[in-house]
Amino acid sequence: MKRRTTPLILCAVLIVAAVAAFVLTTQRFGSDDSGERAEQGSPGVAGAPPPQPASTEAAVLNGWQLVAGDDFNGTKIDTKRWDVYDGANSVGETWSRKQCTVSGGVLTLAGRADDAGTTCGLSWKGDQTFGRWEVRARLPVPADANYAPTFLLWGADDLNFPEAGEIDFSETWNPERQFAESWLHGPGNLKGPYIKSNPVDLTQWHNFGVDWQSDKITLYLDGQVWGVYDDPKYIPQTPMHLVLQLSFVRKHPGTPVATTAQVDWARVYR
C-alpha cells in the first residue's frame, strides 16, 4: 500500500498546484477570451504585435470591386491589354514604343533627351462609363519641366475631343515632383477646372486614384481625397479608358533632360 500511496499523494499535490496556477492566471488576464485579446492588443504590452498600418489604396479603403488590371510582371507590355503609342501627333509629341519598357515588375515610361520630345504613352483596351481606377507609381528625379507623367481617362470616341472629355487625375509638370495636379477638360471645354495637391514627395511610391460617377469625380492620393469635381457641365457622360503617358509640351528652349516615370501596377474597378 505504501508503494501506491506515494504516487497518489504526488498526483494530488500536482493537481492542487495546477488549480492554483489556473486561478492566478484567470485573475491576471480575465476569465474569458475577449479579456485576454484586449490585454494583448494594448499599447506597451510586452510581446504585443505591432499595429497594422492602414491601407493606402483607395480601392481597399472604399471597397471597390476589381474588374481588371496589370501588375507588369512580364518582360514586355501586354498588348492584349494595352495599345502602345507610336508616331507623332498634332501637338508636337513624338511617341515611340521603345520608350515603354517592363522589367522587375515595373513599367517605365521614358522621355528622351532630344528636341523631338520622344516619349512613352499607352492606353487600356477597355472602355466603361463611370467607374474607378488606381495606379501605383513614382516619379524619379532628375526630371524636366517639358515632361509630365500623366494618368488620365480618355474618351472612347478618340476623334471627338474635347466633346468626349478628358479627366487628368494626376498630371505633374513641376520638375521637382513635389505636388500633383489635376485638370478636367470637357465635355466640349478645354478650359475646365483645375486642382493642385498639398506638397508631397512624388519621387517615392504613391497610389493615385479616381472615382468617376455621373455627378461627381473624386481624386485620391494614397487613399485620401485630395480633390472633387462636382460641376455637372464638366463631367463626361460617355465611355472612357485609362491612359498612362509621359506627356511632352515645350516649356523651355534647348534639349530637355531625360525623364522617367515608373508604374508598379494599374487597376480598373467598378
113 and 36 within one domain: no
Residue 146 lies in a domain: yes
pLDDT tens sequence across 201-249:
999 999 999 999 999 999 999 999 999 999 999 999 999 999 999 999 9
69 and 33 within one domain: no
Residue 172 lies in a domain: yes
Instruction: Please report the pLDDT score of residue 46 as a whole number.
Output: 46
C-alpha cell at 259: 525623364
C-alpha cell at 25: 492566471
- Write the burial class of residue 140 (CB in 10 Å: 0-12 exposed, 13-18 middle, 19+ buried): middle
Contacts of 22 (CB under 8 A, 6+ apart): none
Residue 8 lies in a domain: yes
Instruction: Please report the pLDDT score of residue 158 as a whole number.
Output: 85
DSSP state of 178: -
Contacts of 130 (CB under 8 A, 6+ apart): 212, 213, 214
11 and 100 within one domain: no
Nearest CA to 256 among 91, 112, 141, 120?
112
149 and 25 within one domain: no
CATH number for the domain spanning 207: value is 2.60.120.200
What three-state secondary structure class fits 233?
helix
Mean pLDDT of the chain: 85
pLDDT tens sequence across 162-185:
899 999 999 999 999 999 999 999
Residue 17 lies in a domain: yes
Domain limits at 6? Answer: 2-41
Instruction: Please report the pLDDT score of residue 48 as a whole number.
Output: 54
Find the mean pLDDT for residues 197-203: 98
pLDDT tens sequence across 35-63:
333 333 333 344 555 555 589 999 999 99
10 and 121 within one domain: no
Rounded Cα distance between 165 and 233, Å, is 11
Checking if the pLDDT of 263 tops 50, the result is yes
Instruction: Please report the pLDDT score of residue 52 as a whole number.
Output: 52
In the chain, the number of structural domains is 2
Residue 253 lies in a domain: yes
Instruction: Please report the pLDDT score of residue 53 as a whole number.
Output: 57
Nearest CA to 259 among 270, 239, 245?
245
Residue 50 lies in a domain: no
134 and 91 within one domain: yes
